[in-house]
Amino acid sequence: MSDFDASALKGRSVLVCMGGGIAAYKVCEAVRLLARAGASVHVAMTEAAVQFVAPLTLQALSQHPVATSLLEGTQEQQIGHIALADGADLALVAPCTADLAAKLRAGLAGDVVTATLLAFRGPVLLAPAMNVHMWNHPATKENFAELTRRGYHLVGPGSGEMACGHVGEGRLAEPAQLVEAAARVLGPRDLAGKRVLVTAGPTREHFDPVRFLSNPSSGRMGYALAAAARDRGAQVTLVSGPAELEPPAGVELVRVVSAAQMDEAVLSRADAADLVLMAAAVSDYRPVRVHPRKVKKTAGPETLELERTQDILAELGARFAGGAHRPRIVGFAAETEDLVANARGKLERKGADFVVANLVGEGGAFASAENEVVIVGREGEHRIGRAPKAVVAQRILDIVAR
């Protein structure tokens, strides 16, 4: 499974509603991953879906009977469509074909899938899958637009080569993406209506067109925080230094390079924020002189004169000290020693509400997929053990957004 926090699925009931399409084979893996994440999975299939995947396969993967007919007596007695609807926390419609989307918009109930979904009152996650021209047809676009207006969630479609030979948008999202989207929908929504500003990645301070001062930050922690805040309902702006990462969907991305650019981007947006997460590894120094052309090597020693960059966290703390509107400000600290003491000193000097600190060089900081941190606040400390950064991000928000 890809690197994300699937804990929201544990102990929850997920109803997988399968439409008829060649992409149905990918849903089998999604069912397996959902069950592995701790969800109780039930499956309902249209008559067309049964032509692509055997119900016995889904029964083996989900460990529950599979509903294939609205009127078949034994199935209706054992696991009727109303029972399916009443027992689920989330309905995942995958593949959601053009035909199935049209039926859902119209409120039809002619098979076990559409009848169950019409009776279901929880969140519905649609995973479209169809030919690129079908996806781009105005009728299909209108149907999905109306369904999302009603509150249905959407994952995908992706782009690429299709079974029909066409290339373009319309591919079913990958199984891990389906599971991640399900976890996102079922996760906490405690940041709904809040505006969250996140910084991520390194900054670069050039001294000529081809050389710069920087650090090894990958941006993963900041990107994970942006995705976690989005998943909890926030409107998120991510200010990112140079990072080779795919930005989280549904997040406003502001790309910067230098500390000065990040300073301007953050301060111009901080007044509107409710929570500021300063996860970027901002360069502390920059060259005094920036050369317009590449500096050539010389035979003797060379000296590079440096000056301090903007201290964005301290500027934020001073800006909102004692103000009527103050966003909650969270700083980050990468330390090599005296972790808690240094973090607490930073908390007091910078006027932050929390400082999230971790030790560099112990496998949990720069460029690592995992992290372990100590969150230092004015009322105490919280330790988060080693885990994938997506999981750590959720735990950080559990504390700082409380």
Query: Which residues are identified as catalytic?
Result: 164
**Partners of 236 in beta bridges:** 196
CA distances to 103, 176, 200, 278 from 246, rounded to whole Å, are 34, 16, 13, 19
Distance CA 83, CA 119 (A): 9
3-state secondary structure of 75: helix
CA 290 to chain centre: 38
Say if CB 382 and CB 399 are below 8 A apart.
yes
312-319 and 339-350 helices cross at what angle (nearest 10)? 50
**Partners of 240 in beta bridges:** 200, 255
Distance CA 100, CA 117 (A): 11
Question: Is the bond preceding 287 in cis, omega lying within 30 degrees of 0?
Answer: no
- Beta pairing class for 124-128 and 90-96: parallel
